[in-house]
Amino acid sequence: MSAPTGPRFSYGTNGLADHRLGDALRLLADLGYEGVALTLDHQHLDPYAPGLAARVDEVRRALDATGLAVVVETGARYLLDPRRKHRPTLLSAEPEGRELRLDLLRRAVGIGAELGAGAVHFWSGTPDPDTTREQAWQRLVDGCAETVGHAEAAGIDLAFEPEPGMLVADLAGYRRLLADLGRPDRFRLTLDIGHCRCLEPYPVADCVALAADRLAHVQIEDMRRGTHEHLPFGEGEIDFPPVLGALADAGYRGLVSVELPRHSHAGAETARHSIAFLREAAARHASRDTRPQQEPLKEAVPA
């Protein structure tokens, strides 16, 4: 079988939080997606609920049945602390908090290996108020080094994401972290296309070229300069055909995952609109067509 030559579009389950996981996988396959970005959360493959091994096996069988590739994501908002969003982190002042995050990452690596995932995705988090940047950075390096060890043992790539507002916010921060870790091969990158528009000093397509040597996963959505808000395609400022062209030119063959975590209330329609938009953008790049793309998504389902 020949290797894929174009983008492999995927969709994040954090944008289908109102769907059962099995229903979400079937929906994505029926729409023509080739993969899923699976966020481990209370409603979708909770890594702390009883019977994990059996549930992972069930998801593996569902992935096989639908033909979907998978990356595993660890960005659930309240999985570790019901009161504090995205806490604790690898930067947390309390050692027990950092251990909770490390435990989640260990579980994610194990689940990812069982599912045959292309990568396990994570990010740095933000420092606690009384933590210096130097302290936070050392905690991050230590936590990433430990997680790299688990990934190497499991034979799976990590896909670290720079996230606006976090300790590692941009590609330069990722490069510094990679260097401080000794450039382990398994410590790779999630490039979020919207984040490139939000804060990187380069055009979005140039960010793809700058990141190409480390890419393990790509997230994609629309966004505006200076505002970290994930928008449906057509509602932001990104010109997508050149971006998809840059991914093709870079030889990237991993998943390109739509990330719209605030649109679960209209998840099915948003997923349908997203793949139609991305296919049109890819076709426009192939034909070098510069006509405007379709209108922004008009949500038919109230939040």
CA dist 294 and 233 (Å) reads: 9
pLDDT at residue 7, rounded to an integer: 80
pTM for this entry: 0.92
Which pLDDT does position 289 carry in this prediction? Answer: 52
Residue 198 confidence (pLDDT): 97
Buried b (16+ CB within 10 A) or exposed e, 234-258: bbbebebbbbbbbbbebebebbbbb
The whole-number pLDDT of residue 286 equals 82
- The domains found in the chain, sorted by start residue, are 8-287 (3.20.20.150)
Mean pLDDT in order along the chain per 10 residues (303 residues): 68 97 98 98 96 98 98 97 95 96 98 98 96 97 98 98 97 98 98 98 96 97 97 97 95 96 94 97 79 45 36
Q: Which of 70, 84, 8, 9 is nearest to 40 (CA)?
A: 70
What pLDDT, on the 0 to 100 scale, is given for residue 213?
97
